[in-house]
Amino acid sequence: MRGFLMIGAAALMAGCVSTPSLEGTRGATSFEALQKMCSPQTVDYGSDAQIVYETFFDAYVANRRGRLSNDDFCKFQASIAQRHASEAGSSDPKVRNQWVEFFNEQRAQAISWRSAVDPTLRSG
């Protein structure tokens, strides 16, 4: 239960940040396109897809504005994909919570990178 609350908190926090929706936002890079920047294969994140997309998008904004190199952007995506594959779908609550804790750290990092280059996140 704690894990779902943490994802909910991250999603709520992310709602304050201008981020595109999986359903489509005009002018925004799609989730598929963000993933294909680093690999020809895309990952199915299931119920975590929206928050993962928001996280990738924040990192992408930092990448586009020179804060994050292409290599670091792709390493960031790969680490999330790897941990998602090994932990997110687990029926063991402890393993699922490991995914949630890891992902929340990654989400915070992406927001930090974006806020360093996007003045709209600092205007409070």
Domain range annotation of the chain: 1-7+30-36+48-117
Which pLDDT band holds residue 18 (cuts at 50, 70, 90)? low
**Over residues 60-77, mean pLDDT:** 96
pTM: predicted TM-score of the whole model, two decimal places = 0.80
Contacts of 23 (CB under 8 A, 6+ apart): none
Q: What is the pLDDT of residue 14?
A: 45
CA-wise closest residue to 35 among 17, 22, 16: 22
- Name the least confident of 13-22, 26-35, 70-79, 83-92: 13-22
DSSP state of 91: S
**Over residues 19-36, mean pLDDT:** 79
